[in-house]
Amino acid sequence: MKPNVMLRFASAVAACAMFLYATAAPAASYKVLYNFGLTRDDGVLPNGLINIKNTLYGTALQGGVSTRCNNKAEPGCGTVFSITTDGVYKTLHSFKGGTDGIGPSSGNLIDVNGTLYGTTVAGGTGSCPYDGDGCGTIFSITTKGRERVVYSFKDNDDGYEPNSLINVNGTSYGTTLLGGTGNCTIYAGLTGCGTMFSIAPDGTKTILYNFTGGGHGAGPSGGLIYVNGKLYGTTVFGGTGSCTYDGAKGCGTVFSVTPDGKEKVLYSFRGGRDGAEPAGAGLVDVKGKFFGTTSGGGGQWGGGTVFSLSMDGHEQVLHKFGYGRHGGVPEASLLDVNGTLFGTAEYGGAKYRSGVIFSITRTGTENVVHQFTSTDGMFPQAQMIDINGTIYGTTEQGGRTFLLGGCLGDGGNGCGVVFSVKP
């Protein structure tokens, strides 16, 4: 399996155990709709959700009918599922590995005229220089569960480990974390700085831009948004900052790319107080200003930030996380609900590391909405969605069900949950 896009900050998490504080009671409106792990078939490590006519659709990175994905340690190759707002769950598809794809990526599915599209980080027919699991795929699936592979990434130059998609006027756009023609080594043995691509309705794929590292960014990992004729996104690495992580340099960037492939860096994170590594977190546009999160930098313990960014590249840090009651390491994109932003932090909160749901105004007033307690979910990483004032989301782990040996083979955490919360 390719390396998880979501970065872990082990030293910082260990440091956060030094904090002592009073814990708050969970929000009265919080509810677990579904605990993964009732059977191995229903998935492990759920990702983001999409709403179609008040039914939620999502993916799980692992799990499904395959006991061991491609005869390796992962418990299944991942699933696509549906769940109603009152908790009725159904597995629509279990990835089989190989040409069918492995590991649906952390971004939300997209809806194109009633058909869902997504990506897998591995699998397919391509050959990439990692562990022989393929370069990733783009797939479609109907709401009834009929799945097909739309495109298999071919090789390193074609890009591999694709991220979430966005559809603009019938053409879909996305990024790959790795691969392309750029001269980067982001992880040991994995090359390329990442790509941005388009894919037509007939499955024709075109690379619009090859990230080159350095000042132009490397490792695009968050979702894209489309504003005034341009696509905007973030890279985990690259830029002019002085960060170094596992051989990759730079603290990350915010960039734009036109549909014909002209790239521009709007902002380079410097690390420290202004944030670093917007890992997995895309942007949200609220009245002509971007808002986003970084998973590093910010406060004393480097717990990440919430920031705003004007169209001309002026950045302002609205909140700095420090792993205490208010959480640490926000990795998901923010959700705009009537001008108030909602997000999650993967660590911190009532159990130091289980995570929190927070709200923040556009001027920086932050409030903890819910602190996860392990049994009601832990490690939220995916963007939430809003349906008529109720927010829905997932946690990667936690919950009240356990597979033999634990969902990750560690005998510990639950398999993840789908939750609702009404602020």
Question: Are 83 and 55 a contacting pair, CB within 8 Å?
Answer: yes
- Give the DSSP H or E segment for 14: helix 10-16
Nearest to 271 by CA among 239, 310, 247: 239
> Which of 340, 341, 342, 305 lies closest to 321 in space, CA to CA?
305
Distance of CA 189 to the CA centre of its chain: 23
Question: Cα angle vertex 177, ends 172, 179, to 5°?
Answer: 100
Q: Which of 86, 13, 95 is nearest to 47 (CA)?
A: 95
Residue 4's pLDDT is: 41
Residue 389 neighbours by CB under 8 Å, 6+ apart: 337, 422
Domain boundaries defined on the chain? 10-421
Kindly report the CATH number that applies to the domain delimited by 10-421: 2.120.10.30
**Whole-angstrom distance, CA of residue 140 vs CA of residue 134:** 18
CB atoms within 10 A of CB 404: 8
Q: Is residue 27 a contact partner of residue 419, using CB atoms and an 8 Å limit?
A: no
User: If you search the block for the tokens 């950045």, which residue do you land on?
Assistant: 315
Are the beta carbons of 265 and 214 closer than 8 angstroms? Answer: no
Range list of H helices, 79-149 = none
Q: What DSSP designation does 215 have?
A: G
Q: What are phi and psi of 131, to 5 degrees?
A: -130, 25
Three-state DSSP at 16 gives helix
Classify 389 in phi/psi space as left (phi over 0), alpha (psi -120 to 50) or beta: left
377, 402 contact by CB (below 8 A)? no
Query: CA triplet 51, 25, 351: central angle to 5 degrees?
Result: 85
CA distance 113 to 196: 23
Which secondary structure element, helix H or strand E, spans residue 12, and what is its range? helix 10-16
Element (H, E) at 13: helix 10-16
Question: In DSSP terms, which residues pair with 207 in a beta bridge?
Answer: 197
DSSP 338: T
* Rounded Cα gap, residues 394 and 322, in angstroms: 23
Residue 324: per-residue pLDDT: 84
Whole-angstrom CA distances from 332 to 39, 119, 304, 373 are: 27, 17, 12, 19
What is the rounded CA–CA span in Å between residue 39 and residue 359? Answer: 34
pLDDT average per 10 residues of sequence, the chain (423 residues): 37 33 52 85 90 95 78 79 96 92 90 95 85 88 96 93 93 94 74 93 94 92 93 94 78 94 95 88 92 89 92 94 89 95 92 86 95 92 95 93 55 84 94
CB 252 within 8 A of CB 236: yes
State which H helix or E strand residue 15 sits in.
helix 10-16
Per the listing, tokens 């994905």 go with 69
CB hemisphere CA count around 255 (13 angstroms): 34
Rounded CA-CA distance 218/233 in Å is 12
What's the CA gap between 133 and 128, in Å, rounded?
Answer: 8
Residues 6+ apart with CB under 8 A from 170: 112, 201
